[in-house]
Structure 1
Amino acid sequence: MPEGDTVLQTAARLHAALAGRVLTQADLRVPRFATADLVGRTVLDVTARGKHLLTRIDGGLTLHSHLRMDGAWRVYAAGERWRGGPGHQIRAVLGNTEHTAVGYRLPVLELLRTADEQQVVGHLGPDLLGPDWDPALALERLLATPDRPLGEALLDQRNLAGIGNVYKCELCFLARVTPWLPVAALPDGVLALLVTAAERLLHANRDRLARTTTIPAELRARPTAAPAAGASSGSRRTPPPRVQERLYVYGRAHRPCLRCGATIRAADQDDRPTYWCPGCQSGPTP
């Protein structure tokens, strides 16, 4: 699932393939921009902003795309067969003499003036993987809606940019609270620790092909959050998770918790599948 770390990796691949090179092929397969002619222009850079991708092109243009749930950009060598999906799923093609970047199933694709980028990313909170990361501002924005469920607040890109549904579930597990607990009900200091943990987890995974939140070396000696009030203190302790267990709760419904052995549960929150451990996490549930 594309989240801030995945989008940053995508931006890096696109930048390596396109930046500094003249477009010899450019095809935007959306009605509004189908006639746009970008051939002959040079791609300046490709930048990630939260979960948004900004491909800047000379002449003051930016191609803005967003992957949402299942969009993807694939990079191929010139002349290589495209294998990212059927042709009708292709929304964009950008090519030069060495590489071709193909955008599949892109739900958001628009061409705008670079000077107008703030119209599409200006609402975002501080970027967990960006140079503008500001944990104090992220904390302030989360606390601005104290009655909001924590899971919803973490997913709101206006608070902090880059967290998706996987990290939402995993961060709530690390904080030992359910995603339905109101922000204001978190024990003192836990929200600040959660913001710190979010930044560390995304950075730990920014170069990984397989996202993991269980035992990344970068986090072993850094506690992330204190147990929530009311959390069970008698949970069974299990050995550290096996290497193949990359996530604590996300996608693990009906399987045993890696920490206490309780059965992981799942329910929808704001139309997104949400996972939690009833033994480790305290707070309201559906």
Structure 2
Amino acid sequence: MPEGDTVHQAARRLHSALAGRVLTRSDLRVPKLATVDLTGRTVLDVTPRGKHLLTRIEGGLTLHSHLRMDGSWRIYAPDEPWRGGPGHQIRAILGTADRTAVGYRLPVLELLRTSDEAKAVGHLGPDLLGPDWDPERALANLVAAPERPLGEALLDQRNLAGIGNVFKSELCFLLGVTPWLPVGELPGEAAARLPALAKKLLEANRDQPSRTTTGRPRPGQRLYVYGRASRPCLRCGTSVRVGEQGDGSRSRPTYWCPTCQRGPTS
């Protein structure tokens, strides 16, 4: 599931493959971009912003993409088979003389003037993995709505950018509270720890092929609660529970330990 750590990995791979090279192939398979041809232009850089990707291209253009739940960018050598999914799932192809970047299942793909990037990402809060990270501002954003459930507030990218459903569940576990605890009821010590802990989790996974919050590399032990419904909590052995919680727009499965975490459960 793409979150801030995996988006930064994707940006790094795309930047390595495309930056400084001239596009020899351009195929954007969404209706409003169907006639756009970027061939002959040089890719300047690929920059992550929260869970967004900004591919900046010569001529003051930025290709903005967002992976959401299951989108991905894959990089292929000239003779390498494309294995990211069936052809009808391809939304973008950017090719150079020696590499081709293919975007699969991209729910957001738009071409902007680089000077207008704020229209796509200007609403985002401080990026946990970006140069604009500001822990005081992130915490102030979170506590500005004290009645809001913590899990919802963490998923709201306007508060801080980069946390998705996995890190939301894991962060709440490490803070010892349920995702439904109102932000205003978060104990002072936990609130003070929250920004630094969130950054630590994402930074620890920014360069890792398999996400872990426990520090244990073995499959089935990499995450404390996420995806562990009815399985023992790795800390206390209680069966992990699962419920539904969203970000204000849609519900998602949310995991917690009823022994290690205090607070409401819906």
Same fold (TM over 0.5): yes
How do 1:104-143 and structure 2 match up within 5 A?
A: 104-143=104-143
Partner of 2:263: 283
Once residues 56 and 264 of structure 1 are traced to their aligned partners in structure 2, the CA distance between those partners, rounded to angstroms, is 43
1:20 matched to 2:25: no
Once residues 61 and 113 of structure 2 are traced to their aligned partners in structure 1, the CA distance between those partners, rounded to angstroms, is 5
Q: CA offsets per residue over residues 78-128 of structure 1, 9 Å max, x none?
A: 232111100000000000000000000000000010000000000000000
1:252 pairs, out of 228, 231, 235, with 228
Which sits farther off after the overlay, 78-87 or 241-250?
241-250
1:243 matched to 2:218: yes
How do 1:124-273 and structure 2 match up within 5 A?
A: 124-215=124-215, 243-244=218-219, 245-270=221-246, 271-273=251-253
SS for the counterpart of 1:141 is: helix
Once residues 131 and 17 of structure 1 are traced to their aligned partners in structure 2, the CA distance between those partners, rounded to angstroms, is 22
Structure 1 residue 242: deviation in Å? 7.3
Once residues 217 and 131 of structure 2 are traced to their aligned partners in structure 1, the CA distance between those partners, rounded to angstroms, is 34
Structure 1 residue 192: deviation in Å? 2.1
Once residues 5 and 192 of structure 1 are traced to their aligned partners in structure 2, the CA distance between those partners, rounded to angstroms, is 22
Give the partner amino acid of 1:256: P
SS for the counterpart of 1:189 is: helix
Once residues 75 and 191 of structure 2 are traced to their aligned partners in structure 1, the CA distance between those partners, rounded to angstroms, is 39
Identity level (%): 73
How do 1:23-42 and structure 2 match up within 5 A?
A: 23-42=23-42
Once residues 265 and 158 of structure 1 are traced to their aligned partners in structure 2, the CA distance between those partners, rounded to angstroms, is 28
Unaligned 5+ segments in structure 2 are none
Query: Number of residue pairs matched?
Result: 261
Normalised TM-score (structure 1): 0.90
Partner of 1:69: 69
Tell me how large the CA RMSD over aligned residues is.
0.9
Once residues 4 and 254 of structure 2 are traced to their aligned partners in structure 1, the CA distance between those partners, rounded to angstroms, is 18
Larger-Rg structure: 1
Normalised TM-score (structure 2): 0.97
